[in-house]
Structure 1
Amino acid sequence: MSSSKEFTPLNIAVLTISDTRTDDTDTSGDLLKQHLTEAGHQFAVKTIVKDDIYQIRKVISDWVANGDINAILTTGGTGFAGRDSTPEAIAPLFDQEIVGFGELFRQVSYAEVGSSTVQSRCLAGVANKTIIFCLPGSNNACTTGWQKIIKEQLDSRHRPCNFVGQLL
């Protein structure tokens, strides 16, 4: 549900977390960039980092400390495979965790992937007035997360509430 309030574009960064993706093969990061720009937001930067707790934390910490970035979308590293470490890397940086994001993501993705959704450890939170959404690495998961949750929550017109006022 939207109101007649004016849209407020946010500056959004995208981080792909993967040991195998390159600029040429990063389809989920490119898809998130496409989604956010189509929604009217400003694309700030996109980076690919290895699935390493300290490399992930460094990039996220730098972006959180940058007052020009309002939101961060990550893709990858949220499962249970080998080096998946996004939750362990990012959760300690949160000032507040958005517990409902992971719960809702798994609920809406159940229709698409069934019980396999329990293997998603996606999460979200706020750090230094920067909202961070951590999505799985598949294109379908990124589209589901964006279209069914994130897009509305980053739209200043969405009612009854959204996160924009808490970020600016």
Structure 2
Amino acid sequence: MNTPLPRCRWAQTDPTQWAYHDHEWGVPVRDSRTLWENLILDSFQAGLSWRTILLKREAFRRAFEGFAPSRIALYGESDIERLMADSGIVRSRQKIIATIRNARAYLTMQDNGEDFSAFVWSFTNNQPIKDHGDSGNPRSPQGDALSLALKKRGFSFVGPVIVHAWLQACGIINDHDTTCFRRTG
């Protein structure tokens, strides 16, 4: 008989979450476009379970054309209506509009020579930080500061709780529970 791996509390009951936890959550992401996609997915997750977003992730990728900021930045009202009619994604007008706004803000940063990954990682001195081993903590000083900085650059739907969850997911903050097999050191 196999002994189940000791995982973070949130990932102990569902095979979909096991796979995500074991292979993606908390793995440091340095690619700007991937960081941006993950921020958008975390924004859509607000108020919902992460499992819901995981099950709809491929539909989101299809609906938002692979999360290409250059394509999404051009979206207009007909695209918003198309997305609102897509039952494969979370149909929130506010979150869809925020995604378009965030694509434009991302591209503005790029146009100004500001690399999104370098910007994000600068909030942790370019190193993953180990929090207190409580993946249930909804905020962090880094998430609070980055949330404000993103808003100053024109991003929306990036409050401190969303940003902290995103930093955890992207391995910028290592917040695996202290008993989790993925926590190192």
TM-score range, shorter chain: under 0.3
Higher relative contact order (CA 8 A, sep 6+): 2
TM-score w.r.t. the length of structure 2 is 0.26
**Which has more strand, going by share of residues?**
1
Q: Which has the larger radius of gyration?
A: 2
